[in-house]
Amino acid sequence: MILQALAFYAFAAVAVASGVMVIAARNPVHSVLFLILAFFNTAGLFVLLGAEFLAMILVVVYVGAIAVLFLFVVMMLNINFVELRQGFLHYLPIGGLIGLVLLAELVLVGGTWAFGPEVRGAMPTPPIGERTNTEAIGDLLYTQYIYLFQAAGIILLVAMVGAIVLTLRVRPGVRKQRPGDQIGRKREEAVAIRKVTPGGGI
């Protein structure tokens, strides 16, 4: 128990510190790196809770795809973050208000969980040892929440297509490959037979 408690406090402290550095770092590349560190420590917390599937998904999906995509976008677009942060003080009051509302909601949820033991008993949980976390999550997603799961996939697909369309830049004068023209051309258009006389050249 002491080892688990020490591991929990270590993972939690590093995760919180990394989260603070994500919004406090001046360099956006450093912010993304701190975000990756926060993801790894959160995955460690999931492992301590026995949710190894969520820990694996967090590392594979968020660290392997989303965080790397953030880093790629930040380094490729060359965004001027100095100009973006000029209006920080202007939006600080409303941002603080939203933060307080979220904090109050978290406190209410935590208080209900702590002071209402009947809430924990109302949540259906499968018996421990009968099936793994992965099997339980898959059974729930692909049976009871199959339509919501498919709808979420469609929304993500539409968002991805929209992002591609918004970032697509059509530049005139750029030579592009046209496979249809290449496949449909005739032999006379591609091959030229010339008879070269000795010493005469082409």
pLDDT in tens, 98-147: 778 878 766 766 665 555 555 455 545 555 566 777 788 888 888 888 89
Annotation: CATH topology of 1-81 = Four Helix Bundle (Hemerythrin (Met), subunit A) (1.20.120)
Listed residue (67, 5, 78) closest to 36, CA to CA: 67
- Report whether 45 contacts 15 (CB < 8 A): yes
d(CA 192, CA 195): 10
Q: Per-residue confidence at 155, pLDDT binned at 50, 70, 90?
A: very high
Q: What percent of the chain has pLDDT over 90?
A: 3
Q: Per-residue confidence at 80, pLDDT binned at 50, 70, 90?
A: low
Q: Per-residue confidence at 154, pLDDT binned at 50, 70, 90?
A: very high
| pTM (2 d.p.) | 0.52
- What are the boundaries of each domain within the chain? 1-81, 89-123, 126-168
Mean pLDDT to the nearest integer, 84-95: 69
Task: Specify the pLDDT at position 190.
Answer: 77
pLDDT at 95 over 60: yes
What is the residue-averaged pLDDT of the chain? 77
pLDDT at 31 over 90: no
Listed residue (14, 11, 32, 13) closest to 22, CA to CA: 32
Tally: H helices and E strands in the chain: 11, 0
